[in-house]
C-alpha cells in the first residue's frame, strides 16, 4: 500500500512538473510575440504613410488577426493545462474566436497577394475597392466570411443531452462542445477549401506578375519586389498549413517515440501551430525596409532614453 501511494505521488509530481515546463515554454514565446506585434501596431498608428497604403493596412489587419488567434489559442492551452472547467456558454465564444481567426489568416494572405497584383498591373487605374480609403470594405468582408463557417460549425451536430450549456462545467475543447462526426467532416472540408482557394490565388497572382513583367514598362525592381512578396505569402500559407499535418505527425511520433498522448499533443501544438503563427507576421514585418527602419528607430529612441537614466544613477 505504501509503495502504491509513493508511485501515485511520484506520478502526480511528474505530471505537475510537465505542466509547469510546458507553460514556461509557451508563455515567454507569447510575450515576445506580443511585444513585437505591439511595437509594429504602434508604428502603424503613429506614421501616416502606413495608414495611407493598402498593403500596410492589410498587414496591420493580419497582425491584429494573428494576435487574437494566438491569444485565444494560448488561453485555451492554459485552461487545459490547468484543468480549468467552466460552462459551455463561456467556452463557445473562445472557440469561435480561435476558429474564425484561424480561417481568416489565409483569406488575408490571398487579399495581400491580390493587392500586389492590382498595384503592379493597374498602377494608374486602380479599382476603387483597393484604395486605402476603401480597403476596409474588403477587410470587413473577410471577417464576415471567416465568421460564417464557425457559426455553422458549432450549430450542426448533436450535443450530449446530459450536458447543460449554462450550468455543466467542462474542459474547453472543440470535441467536448460538439463531438458529432458531421461537425468534424464539415470542419475538414472548410479548411481544405479555404487553403486550396488561397493557394490557387497566390499561384495565379505570381504567374500573372511573372508573365506581365516583360510587357510592363515599370521599374523592374518594384516588379521583382512584388514577386518576392507574393512568394513570401505562399511561404506564410505553408506555415499555416502545418496545422493540417497533426494526424500524420502524431502517428509518426507514436511509431518511433514512446511519449504520452498529452506530450504528443503539446509537441504538435507548439511546433505546428504556435511557431508558424509567431514566424509569419515577424518575417513579413522585418523584411519590409520601411517597417524595419521604423522598428530600429523605435528601439534606438528607447535605448537613448534608458541610457541617461542609467548614467545618472551611476
- Compute the distance between CA of residue 211 and CA of residue 64 in angstroms, rounded to an integer: 34
Element (H, E) at 171: strand 169-171
196-221 mean pLDDT: 76
Of 115, 187, 105, the C-alpha closest to 143 is 105
> How many helices (H) and strands (E) are present in the chain, helices listed first?
12, 2
C-alpha cell at 150: 464557425
- Compute the distance between CA of residue 269 and CA of residue 291 in angstroms, rounded to an integer: 30
pLDDT over threshold 90, residue 198: no
- CB of 130 within 8 A of CB of 77? no
Ramachandran sector of residue 168 (left: φ over 0; alpha: ψ -120 to 50; beta: rest):
beta
Query: Cα angle vertex 226, ends 113, 202, to 5°?
Result: 30
What average pLDDT is seen over the chain? 77
In terms of pLDDT, which residue wins out, 76 or 190?
A: 76
In terms of pLDDT, which residue wins out, 30 or 232?
A: 30
Residue 144 binned pLDDT confidence (cut-offs 50, 70, 90): very high
pLDDT over threshold 80, residue 240: no
How many CB atoms are located within 10 Å of the residue 56 CB? 19
- CB of 187 within 8 A of CB of 153? yes
- Compute the distance between CA of residue 146 and CA of residue 195 in angstroms, rounded to an integer: 12
Residue 159 binned pLDDT confidence (cut-offs 50, 70, 90): low
Per-residue pLDDT, 9:
42
Sign of the Cα torsion 120, 125, 129, 135 reads positive
pTM, two decimal places: 0.82
Task: Give the model confidence (pLDDT) of 97-129 as tens digits.
Answer: 988 998 898 888 889 888 888 887 887 777 777
pLDDT over threshold 50, residue 168: yes
Of 121, 113, 112, the C-alpha closest to 206 is 113
Q: Which residues contact 213 (CB under 8 A, 6 or more apart)?
A: 220, 223, 227
Per-residue pLDDT, 5:
38
- CB of 101 within 8 A of CB of 309? no
Element (H, E) at 85: strand 85-87
Task: Give the model confidence (pLDDT) of 172-186 as tens digits.
Answer: 887 777 666 777 777
78-106 mean pLDDT: 87
- CB of 132 within 8 A of CB of 60? no
241-246 mean pLDDT: 68
C-alpha cell at 186: 464539415
Per-residue pLDDT, 307:
57
146-157 mean pLDDT: 81
Of 99, 94, 35, the C-alpha closest to 63 is 35
Residue 56 binned pLDDT confidence (cut-offs 50, 70, 90): confident
pLDDT over threshold 60, residue 312: no
Q: Which residues contact 287 (CB under 8 A, 6 or more apart)?
A: 232
Q: Residue 260, SS3? A: coil
Per-residue pLDDT, 143:
93
Per-residue pLDDT, 254:
63
C-alpha cell at 195: 487553403
pLDDT over threshold 50, residue 223: yes
| Residues facing 86 on adjacent strands | 170
Q: Residue 86, SS3? A: strand
Domain 2-294 belongs in CATH node 1.20.1070.10: yes
Backbone angles phi, psi at 165, to 5 degrees: -65, -35
Domain assignments of the chain as residue spans, ordered by start: 2-294
Amino acid at each position: 500500500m505504501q509503495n502504491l501511494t509513493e508511485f501515485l505521488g511520484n506520478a502526480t509530481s511528474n505530471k505537475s512538473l510537465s505542466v509547469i515546463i510546458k507553460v514556461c515554454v509557451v508563455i515567454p514565446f507569447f510575450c515576445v510575440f506580443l511585444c513585437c506585434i505591439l511595437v509594429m501596431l504602434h508604428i502603424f498608428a503613429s506614421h501616416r504613410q502606413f495608414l495611407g497604403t493598402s498593403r500596410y493596412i492589410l498587414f496591420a489587419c493580419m497582425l491584429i488577426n494573428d494576435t487574437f488567434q494566438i491569444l485565444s489559442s494560448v488561453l485555451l492551452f492554459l485552461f487545459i493545462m490547468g484543468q480549468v472547467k467552466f460552462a459551455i456558454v463561456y467556452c463557445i465564444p473562445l472557440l469561435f474566436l480561435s476558429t474564425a481567426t484561424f480561417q481568416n489568416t489565409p483569406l488575408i494572405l490571398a487579399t495581400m497577394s491580390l493587392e500586389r497584383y492590382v498595384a503592379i498591373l493597374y498602377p494608374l487605374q486602380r479599382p476603387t475597392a483597393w484604395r486605402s480609403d476603401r480597403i476596409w470594405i474588403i477587410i470587413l468582408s473577410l471577417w464576415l466570411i471567416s465568421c460564417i463557417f464557425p457559426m455553422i460549425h458549432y450549430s450542426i451536430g448533436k450535443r450530449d443531452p446530459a450536458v447543460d450549456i449554462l450550468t455543466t462545467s467542462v474542459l474547453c475543447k472543440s470535441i467536448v462542445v460538439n463531438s458529432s462526426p458531421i461537425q468534424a467532416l464539415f470542419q475538414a472540408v472548410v479548411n481544405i477549401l479555404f487553403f486550396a482557394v488561397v493557394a490557387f490565388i497566390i499561384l495565379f497572382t505570381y504567374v500573372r506578375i511573372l508573365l506581365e513583367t516583360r510587357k510592363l514598362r515599370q521599374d523592374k525592381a518594384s516588379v521583382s519586389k512584388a514577386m518576392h512578396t507574393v512568394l513570401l505569402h505562399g511561404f506564410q500559407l505553408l506555415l499555416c498549413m502545418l496545422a493540417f499535418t497533426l494526424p500524420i505527425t502524431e502517428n509518426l511520433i507514436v511509431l518511433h517515440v514512446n511519449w504520452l498522448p498529452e506530450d504528443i499533443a503539446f509537441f504538435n501544438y507548439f511546433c505546428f501551430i504556435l511557431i508558424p503563427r509567431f514566424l509569419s507576421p515577424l518575417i513579413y514585418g522585418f523584411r519590409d525596409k520601411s517597417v524595419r527602419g521604423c522598428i530600429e528607430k523605435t528601439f534606438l529612441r528607447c535605448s537613448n532614453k534608458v541610457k541617461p537614466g542609467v548614467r545618472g544613477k551611476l
